[in-house]
């Protein structure tokens, strides 16, 4: 009996998801169909349709799991220890210095190889 209740819930969720897709398509079609109406009102209508669709999707099992993931993610972000401004500046300057050093080394290597190839092919003096 419990399995049957879960199956009917999944069918309802599928119907809600399909209705959401149809609603979004209808909202976009209406946005273009009513092109003679001011853009502000069409955008507000489209935003209203999208909010209704999101509200409908949040009532499905998938929507509840996505919302739970969002809540847990926000809690984890709050636990992160962010670097101070001084640490960020120091790290950024170190990265820029290393990129510059590697760029100079690669330029020198390219110049050396270019000169070697010109010497071997007899194009340079």
d(CA 33, CA 25): 12
CB atoms within 10 A of CB 16: 19
**Residue 72's pLDDT is what?**
95
Q: Is 20 exposed, middle or buried (0-12, 13-18, 19+ CB in 10 A)?
A: buried
Two structure tokens written together for 72: 């847990």
Q: Residue 1: what pLDDT?
A: 46
Averaged over successive runs of 10 residues, the pLDDT of the chain (125 residues) comes to 57 91 95 94 95 93 92 93 95 98 98 94 78
Q: How far apart are CA 33 and CA 49, in angstroms?
A: 15
What is the C-alpha separation between 28 and 32, in angstroms, rounded? 7
Which residues does 34 contact at the CB level (< 8 Å), separation at least 6? Answer: 42
Looking at residue 10, its pLDDT comes to 84
pLDDT at 117: 93
């Amino acid at each position: 009996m419990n399995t049957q209740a879960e199956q009917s819930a999944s069918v309802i969720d599928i119907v809600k998801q399909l209705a959401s897709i149809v609603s979004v398509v209808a909202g976009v079609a209406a946005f273009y169909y009513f092109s003679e109406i001011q853009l502000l009102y069409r955008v507000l209508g489209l935003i209203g349709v999208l909010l209704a669709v999101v509200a409908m999707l949040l009532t499905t099992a998938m929507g509840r799991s996505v919302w739970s993931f969002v809540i847990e993610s926000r809690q984890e972000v709050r636990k992160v220890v962010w670097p101070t401004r001084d640490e960020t500046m120091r790290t950024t300057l170190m990265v820029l210095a290393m990129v510059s050093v590697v760029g100079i080394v690669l330029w020198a290597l390219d110049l050396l190889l270019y000169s070697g190839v010109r010497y071997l092919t007899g194009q340079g003096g």
